[in-house]
Structure 1
Amino acid sequence: MHSVLLVDDEISIVNGLKSLIHWEQYNFTITGSASNGTKALHLVKNSLLKGIQSAYDLIIMDIRMPGLTGMELIKELFEIGYKGKIIILSGYGEFDYAREAIKWGIRSYLLKPIDTEELLDVLIEIDSEIREEQQQHQLITNSRTILRNKTLHKLMVSGINQIDELNSILTSSSLENLLTGNRFCVCIVSYDDYALVSSEEGSSTADDAKASIVNILVQEIESVNQGYVIELENALIGILLVQRHNTGISMREIIQATSKTVQSKIQYSCSMALGSQQQDISQIHRSFLNALKVMNYKLAVGKGKILFYDDFNWLENTNFLLYQWDFQILLQAIKENDSVQIELSIDRFIMNASSKSWPLEIVHSQIVLFFLELASIVNNAGGDVCDLFDIDLILRKTYMNKSLYELKLFIQKNCQEIGKWYEENLSINKSDKMISKIVAYIETNYNQSINLKTISYDFKINPVYLGRLFKQHIGKSFTNYINEQRIQQAVHLLKNTDYSVTDICRMVGFNNINYFYQKFKKEYGVTPLEMKRTSQD
């Protein structure tokens, strides 16, 4: 709806205009009125001060008013930046005034008494003009946004090293204010449940959820002039933090506060990785690469956490060629649950570190790298890392243990536990049994609030892996299977009980009546109520 402000010192004219036509039928709504030009100017000024450019899309005003006349009001409106349309009302003896007003770009003028058909013709034309202007404005805005995002993507992902090229690209993309920044840092946001939602609810649902995360980030970062937000590939979102002076708030603190806000507003898990801070705009790409590096450890520390490059930069500063533990044999022994080989491999590592007098911090760093690699392998195999072992606790205890013997026992204990998990869960027969248990669980608990995430938590397995495994064994997705079970039970209750459709919806586990109706009709071609009535006839 286009908003309208009526301005006339005669209240009968204002009231007459309000009731003359059904304004909403022509996409207009009267949102304000003023009895003179001074009051009208005050209303428009207030809206512009609040940043509302289109508070009044159309002003209909009398040409002659006490105090500030129509002509004086028109001049004042243009001077303060009013961009809307204006229609003036005039008598036959005021045509010279009307003609002068049109020179100022006034859209139209109407003679008193106002002819309804003439007013409608003008409104229809103005409605068309406003819509076309809005479309053009949106096209321009979209083009600028696309160009801006392409430039930001190039800065982050590819890098721009040539200063002349950098200045030219930033200026053409309306990003020249980046040139005034003195500290830059890239943060990568990972929508952790993207793959799970895509597999269970479709890619469009996952993309919509990602878009809502982007909107929150824009509000938190861009609206307060702390940087820029762009969508990256798949589950990733990029944030370019820019500081132009010492604000008293570190980039780490900004991301911590942003993470809290995001997690409080969405039901999905988001991890964040903050790269290295750079003082040169041409080094933004390096910050991006460093953020990617630490994001690789997301699986180890758990979903929904923040990873800071500064906490991991010892990985770059250590010469691992001098101190290297080849733990591939140990990883294979864990997969085979070979307890003897697990113990031998750990013994070799400890003996090697002791005989070559490795610094304790190097031993610690090698053990950390091993557990990070183990966490990644377990996750890829379908295990839920957070449920199988507390990687945060493991990392802390690694640094707490000061003797090689203590470290040996500590590594051995955790490796033996993961080896048992491999043996119990990853053979073909074991996966068959697990899916059978899950199916049995669904058949007895279909009316509870269960989904792929809750089931995977109970069975200590990665939800995305479980979704693939379930579909491979059953031939349909987890969501479709549980919906079928619920709908089958609903049919039984509809045909054999007097419960209402709403009660049955709740009893079989659906939380949303509209979703229940949609799935039911898709399956049977009729609504639940229609089936109930048919069964009662």
Structure 2
Amino acid sequence: MYDVAIVEDEELERRALRTILSNKIDGINIVGEARNGVEAMDLINNNAIDLILVDINIPKPNGLEIIQSLRQKNMKTKVVILTAYDYFEIMQKAIHLKADSFLLKPVKTDELLGVVNACLGDLGASRTHNEIADQIWTLLEQRAYRECLSLVRKHLEAIYARKGEAPRQAILDFSDELLALSDKRKVEMPDDLLGQIANLRKERLDARSRNRIHGLFCQIVDALFQMTEEHFGRSPERMQNVLNYIERNLNKEITLEDAANCASVSPCYFSRLFKKTMGDTFVAYVKQRRIHHAKEMLEGSDLPIMNIALDLSFNDINYFAKVFKKEVGVTPSEYRRQCRA
């Protein structure tokens, strides 16, 4: 349900607007009407208005002053200006105040319905962006990185899939919601990323930029994750949990993504933190632990070398022998002979 206000000093016009909107458009609630600027100010100060229809020439304060006050209170309110005059100066001021549309009086029913429905459609998209941003924050708190990226990808796909609708404004609105989210949660975005987001307003943002836009939003998610998970680096217990996970799964394929998921952080952040904490890359560390276990098995068992390789997730015995020699200095067979000499 969207709350709509009508500001019009002529009673017949005001009544006609109310009747048309109430009878022809579902999902709206006329929260109030105003005959002059004073009543209009009272209306916007006491209601969270989604859409307002304003006659420019109402008694003081006039329509433009009302819009200016409204913008200071709630920038997301949709504004439709009603005017009997097609004055360029008025239009210019209204555009500066981010009016959404203009209707010349006397207002035609089909034009009114078209403009209002378009505004309601924008409001619906805006609410969707806001809801998605809230869901993203919930996933951030749950450390659900993959789900977060999936949510962003699906939302961008939905934006590009809307028929007859240019994706540019929806993308800009979505980026604004994510920036508002970071401000609200006191998460500071990197300057280079803020620069890329700002540059979006200078671009066409059509289907050809789809992949790049997706990449940029993934970077935004990464930044949000990194800034909200800094405490992980100060938690030795959580890193130890990851190391324990690696030890338990040396007989399986272990990816960086698997370990990051175990730690409930993003792969990008986990990779940097692991190197900083352990002094080596994740891949190198896993390889070293496998070779360490291979040495123990070569020393303390009679298992065939092929079986040892397979037990430690080396599917190619030649590759295992190559890695082993690089790490230890001798082949697995030579190492076993040396241990038993």
TM-score, normalized by the shorter chain, greater than 0.5: no
Larger Rg: 1
TM-score class, shorter: 0.3 to 0.5
